[in-house]
Amino acid sequence: MAALKRAHDQDLAVHPGQDIEYVVVDDEKTSRERVALAHEEIETYDASYYETQLVRAVESVLSPLGWDRTEIQRKLATMETATLGSFEPTSDMS
């Protein structure tokens, strides 16, 4: 709804059933200030919002295996960010 209101404020033509691409920039704000439309310059986004969405999605897949939201968040917190270099084959192979 926030993206629709923002598009309307910008006099963009929006038709029933049309997708509106947006990014959540601050989930703490309300209505149109919460999002930025895809064509707008976006300096930052609300990483916490997207992390919550990711955890919810992972939980829906892993819950039948006994994983809950707390376990998923704990596992994510202990993971290291992979770099391309971490996937290079070792040079031990002679």
Same domain flag for 32 and 52? no
Q: How many independent structural domains does the chain possess?
A: 2
Closest CA to 37 of 22, 16, 57, 18: 22
Q: In this predicted structure, what is the pLDDT of residue 81?
A: 77
Residue 10 lies in a domain: yes
Q: What is the mean pLDDT of the chain?
A: 87
Q: DSSP H helical segments within the chain, as ranges?
A: 2-9, 47-62, 69-78
Q: In this predicted structure, what is the pLDDT of residue 45?
A: 93
Mean pLDDT of the 3-24 span: 92
Query: Per-residue pLDDT for 64 more than 60?
Result: yes
**Which residue range is the domain that position 74 belongs to?**
47-79
* pTM, rounded to two decimals: 0.71
Same domain flag for 32 and 56? no
Cα–Cα distance between 37 and 75 in angstroms, integer?
Answer: 32
Residue 63 lies in a domain: yes
Q: What is the pLDDT of residues 21-50, one digit of tens each?
A: 999 999 999 889 999 999 999 999 999 999
Mean pLDDT of the 36-65 span: 92
Residue 66 lies in a domain: yes
Residue 7 lies in a domain: yes
Residue 13 lies in a domain: yes
pLDDT band for position 75 (50/70/90)?
confident
